DNA sequence: TGGCTGGCTGATTCTTGAATCAACCAGCCG
DNA sequence: CGGCTGGTTGATTCAAGAATCAGCCAGCCA
């Protein structure tokens, strides 16, 4: 975007302050929502003077926009890498789910903001939001198109829609955690959810008669359990 | 004065004004978003004086809340009816998709507001939003639990998550239209999308070797076509 | 030491838009 | 007819909070 702007990110010291503020913004946005918070809140959270926020960011919008770009660009880059890589579709789908859930594991707040404040919302800002959003869908739609040509997909499946469904599943799966429907504490659960999303998407949820190829069919352990006996440690994606 | 209520909906004449305003609110919200519009916009859209909005609604929040309740209660009632009915899971899933897409067909704007402004957004109001949202998930989770007991579900599928995925798919499918990724004009497309969502959810997207039971496997016609040569009229699922 | 620079401060100003309210205008009843 | 009622009007009031700006202070160079 336009340089000559607000943020001199050349050095490293200055950036530190800037990052502090950005971090605070993410946390506050996650807690109270973009519209529900004041710049003052962000400043306070960052332990910084009100005015300084405006020293580093042109305005409130730019703040959100930056949060968006920071978080989203990382995600989309990884997603693109997967989508454009070689290999069987099954694997790619799993890896995309990996990317999303890993992002959540690393920084749930940021993901929350991305999901709750940015992904939707027709509103205001010039932000690409929708554009960006649409981009991923298109991106993975291409992946599905190629997979279809390779005969990996059922012939009656539309790539674009399949793409929407995959991300819809992932997003809603994450939302379940974000919203507290499922307990986000337990890493094992996240791991299970991730696997299940990919599997369900690929194989469906039905108990179909023939299922020789379905991968991990360990019997279910409930998604939301009491206090989680200290058992399964997540495989840590290795 | 002091009729401690805002809306006297006993008669029918008064209600008409009220409904005009509500309608306008939906349209404006859909166009500019809740936060992006002023009460003045709603009033203008309704062709009504600014103050009148406050005669029928306590405040802006109540306006949104009403939009929400109006739209959502209808949807959830139908969804519940389906979820609690008797019959095979396959059919129920299809019918739930029906309900959602029918709602969209009847009033896309309202659905847009529901999806974009209400389902997410931690924001302000006391509205149940999340609660309500969570309710549907729980509701259908029960449906899946029962289906699982009846042996209709793969044993490794978590009902709660399955529920989230179903609605995630539906929502994202609709979002594709809302956002303009897919062309919402063509009824046939909506019909196809609807069927595909349910099918993908149930059977997965993979071209699995054994597929004797998969229902409608007509080969795909693209979701987004040019001007739609006047050919395939949707089978209307009968 | 003294003056200069630039990150930093936070009270002050300015804007926006929600909410109020006094007056208006039918129709209606006595 | 004249006064009452209740829907309707829109200018006015008011609060919230975004954005500004006049300076402060720490470090640095002369």
- What tens digit of pLDDT does each residue of A44-65 get? 999 999 999 999 999 999 999 9
The answer to the question of residue A69 being in a domain is yes
The answer to the question of residue A161 being in a domain is yes
The answer to whether residue B102 scores a pLDDT higher than 60 is yes
> Higher model confidence: residue A190 or residue B13?
A190
Residue-wise pLDDT for A77-129, tens only, equals 999 999 999 999 999 999 999 999 999 999 999 988 887 777 655 544 445 55
The answer to the question of residue A42 being in a domain is no
Decide if A137 and B176 are in contact by the 8 Å CB cutoff: yes
Checking each nucleotide's C1' against the CA of B49, the nearest proves to be D9
Can you give the pLDDT at residue B177? Answer: 83
Decide if A169 and B168 are in contact by the 8 Å CB cutoff: yes
Residue-wise pLDDT for A63-80, tens only, equals 999 988 888 889 999 999
Q: State the Cα–Cα distance between residues B181 and B184, nearest whole angstrom.
A: 9
Provide the CA A57 to C1' C6 distance, Å, integer: 17
The answer to the question of residue B6 being in a domain is no
Residue-wise pLDDT for A130-179, tens only, equals 677 788 889 999 999 999 999 999 998 999 999 999 999 998 898 888 77
Strand D contact nucleotides, protein CB < 7 Å: 7-11, 16-22
Q: Which among B21, B18, B2 has a CA at the least distance from the CA of B10?
A: B18
Its pTM stands at 0.79
Long-range pairs for A105-109: beta carbons < 8 A, 24 or more residues apart: A105/A187, A105/A190, A107/A26, A107/A71, A108/A177, A108/A178, A108/A184, A109/A26, A109/A27, A109/A30
The answer to the question of residue B146 being in a domain is yes
Question: How many Cβ atoms sit within 10 Å of the Cβ of residue B151?
Answer: 9
pLDDT over 70, % of chain A: 76
The answer to the question of residue A97 being in a domain is yes
Interface membership of A128 toward B (CB under 8 Å): no
CB nearest B207 (choices: A154, A207, A209): A154
Interface membership of B203 toward A (CB under 8 Å): yes
Q: The domain spanning residue A172 has which CATH number?
A: 1.10.357.10
Please give the DSSP secondary-structure letter assigned to residue B70: H
The range of the structural domain enclosing residue B75 comes to 64-207
Place A233 in a pLDDT band, splitting at 50, 70 and 90.
very low
In angstroms, the Cα distances linking B171 to B104, B167, B177 are 11, 6, 10
The answer to the question of residue A35 being in a domain is no
**B22 within 8 A of B67, measured Cβ to Cβ:** yes
CB nearest A172 (choices: B32, B117, B167): B167
Task: Spell out the SS3 assignment of chain A.
Answer: CCCCCCCCCCCCHHHHHHHHHHHHHHHHHHHHCCCCCCHHHHHHHHCCCHHHHHHHCCCHHHHHHHHHHHHHHHHHHHHHHHHHCCCCHHHHHHHHHHHHHHHHHHCHHHHHHHHHHHHCCCCCCCCCCHHHHHHHHHHHHHHHHHHHHCCCECCCCCHHHHHHHHHHHHHHHHHHHHCCCCCCCCHHHHHHHHHHHHHHHHHCCECCCCCCCCCCCCCCCCCCCCCCCCCCCCCCCC
Residues in B closer than 8 angstroms to A162, CB to CB, are: 200, 205
Please give the DSSP secondary-structure letter assigned to residue B194: H
How many A/B residue pairs have CB atoms within 8 Å?
244
Q: State the Cα–Cα distance between residues A205 and A127, nearest whole angstrom.
A: 37
The answer to the question of residue B108 being in a domain is yes
Can you give the pLDDT at residue A120? Answer: 58
Domain count, chain A: 1
Residues in A closer than 8 angstroms to B135, CB to CB, are: none
Residues within 8 A of A (CB atoms), B 31-90 only:
31-36, 89-90
In angstroms, the Cα distances linking A44 to A25, A51, A112, A121, B87 are 10, 11, 21, 26, 56
Q: A160-170 as b/e, with b when 16 or more CB fall inside 10 Å?
A: bbbbbbbbbbb
Place B216 in a pLDDT band, splitting at 50, 70 and 90.
very low
């Amino acid at each position: 975007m336009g340089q000559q702007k607000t943020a001199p990110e050349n050095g490293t010291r200055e950036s530190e302050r800037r990052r502090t503020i950005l971090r605070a913004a993410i946390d506050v946005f996650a807690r109270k929502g973009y519209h529900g918070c004041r710049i003052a809140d962000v400043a306070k959270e960052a332990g910084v003077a009100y005015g300084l926020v405006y020293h580093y960011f042109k305005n409130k919008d730019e703040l959100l926009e930056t949060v968006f770009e920071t978080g989203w660009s990382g995600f989309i880059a990884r997603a693109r890498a997967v989508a454009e890589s070689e290999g069987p579709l099954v694997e790619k789908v799993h890896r995309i789910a990996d990317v999303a859930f890993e992002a959540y594991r690393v920084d749930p707040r940021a993901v929350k903001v991305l999901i709750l404040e940015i992904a939707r919302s027709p509103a205001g800002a010039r932000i690409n939001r929708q554009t960006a959003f649409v981009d991923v869908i298109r991106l993975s739609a291409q992946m599905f198109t190629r997979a279809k040509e390779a005969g990996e997909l059922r012939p009656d499946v539309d790539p674009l829609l399949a793409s929407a469904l995959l991300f819809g599943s992932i997003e809603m799966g994450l939302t379940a955690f974000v919203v507290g429907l499922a307990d986000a504490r337990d890493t094992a659960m996240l791991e299970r959810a991730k696997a299940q999303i990919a599997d369900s998407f690929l194989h469906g949820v039905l108990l179909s008669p023939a299922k020789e190829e379905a991968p991990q069919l360990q019997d279910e352990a409930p998604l939301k359990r009491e206090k989680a006996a200290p058992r399964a440690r997540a495989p840590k994606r290795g």
